[in-house]
Amino acid sequence: MASDVCANCAARGNQAADSCATCGREASDAVELKNCAACLLVKYCSVDCQRAHRKQHKVACKERADELKDERLYGEGHERPESDFCSICTLPIPFPMSVHSGFQVCCSKVVCSGCQFAVIKRGMHNCPFCRTPLLDETGDGGAVLARVQKRVDAKDPDAMAFLGEQHYFGWLGLEVNISLAVELWKEAVELGSIDAHFSLGNQYIIGYGVAQNTAKAIHYWEVAAMRGHVESRNKLGMCDFTDRNYGRAVRHFLITAKMGSDVSLGMIKLMFAQGQASKQQYAEALRGYQFATEEMKSPDRDEWKALSEREKESAK
């Protein structure tokens, strides 16, 4: 009985079976069957039966568990998270977001450069979102840090991720403190910050401030990618590309190209030139990228961009 059931599970035909994969006992009022949590292919009436079947089942279990994981990894996270949209105009923010938006330390909102520019044109000197008077961020950073810390004390995960970044790079007059940055990111992860997931993944992949652990890095990036974090998915794509898993890499880059990432579009273009991606995949990525970037445009953003480019030219 057990060997027949195992053959069925290996062939993916046992998901609907309503009997124990080891002893064959059927479900009843007295017998409660529980799915194998990893693969959901088979059921067991007891822990002892699950242990007895483990050796026969482990190959099929791992294969199906990997399939389920990939279904989630590539099936989720095709839409950018709410934090990638301007809190004022509600349009998605172009990449890199740090260039095209600003984090408001008073309310932890992200506002695009176009909306910030529009506020300045109107002569306003308050936070575009909550109207708190702006601070001079070119000084020692003490007043800015006080506002951030207030949000951190209120358990705001976005503020924690932001403060971790300040400690990591030594910005706002702080000394570089990697261990404190990692501590803040870990707490922010527990509170749901996908940016903190990305940052921790970066630390574990290089072993800076934490013990180097590639598996942990991949895990943090996967969690963030499935919630729409573009940079995390691009990291996964680069890992697969480096490992010559080109099919997996293209799947990642296709998703992020359609979300407006020029980095991923460039990678698919490169892979197409090298014969690792098809012409159809490159065309699909290009169409998706163009559609996504059109959605990010606004008159205020265009005006801010034109002004920024003129200032760069005059500074040369």
| pLDDT given for residue 164 in this prediction | 98
Mean pLDDT of 287-300: 98
**175-191 pLDDT per residue, tens:** 999 999 999 999 999 99
SS3 6: helix
Mean pLDDT of 42-63: 92
**125-161 pLDDT per residue, tens:** 899 999 999 876 555 678 999 999 999 999 999 999 9
In the numeric block, the tokens 């500074």 are attached to 315
- Residue of 40, 76, 75 lying closest to 60 (CA atoms): 40
How sure is the predictor about 14, in pLDDT bands with cuts at 50, 70 and 90? very low
How sure is the predictor about 195, in pLDDT bands with cuts at 50, 70 and 90? very high
CATH class of the domain whose range is 85-315: mainly alpha
pTM across the whole model:
0.88
Find residue 26's DSSP bridge partners.
19
How sure is the predictor about 316, in pLDDT bands with cuts at 50, 70 and 90? confident
Calpha distance 54→252 (Å, rounded): 33
Mean pLDDT of 289-302: 97
Calpha distance 268→26 (Å, rounded): 51
For the CA atoms of 93, 95, 97, 100, what is the dihedral angle to 10 degrees? -70
SS3 309: helix
Portions of the chain given CATH number 1.25.40.10 = 85-315
**In contact, 224 and 73? CB cutoff 8 Å:** no
How sure is the predictor about 1, in pLDDT bands with cuts at 50, 70 and 90? very low
Using the predicted structure, report yes or no on whether residue 16 has a pLDDT greater than 60: no
Tokens of 224: 């963030």
How sure is the predictor about 26, in pLDDT bands with cuts at 50, 70 and 90? very high
- Residue of 65, 23, 75, 25 lying closest to 41 (CA atoms): 65
Using the predicted structure, report yes or no on whether residue 304 has a pLDDT greater than 90: yes
CA angle 307, 312, 313 (to 5 degrees): 100
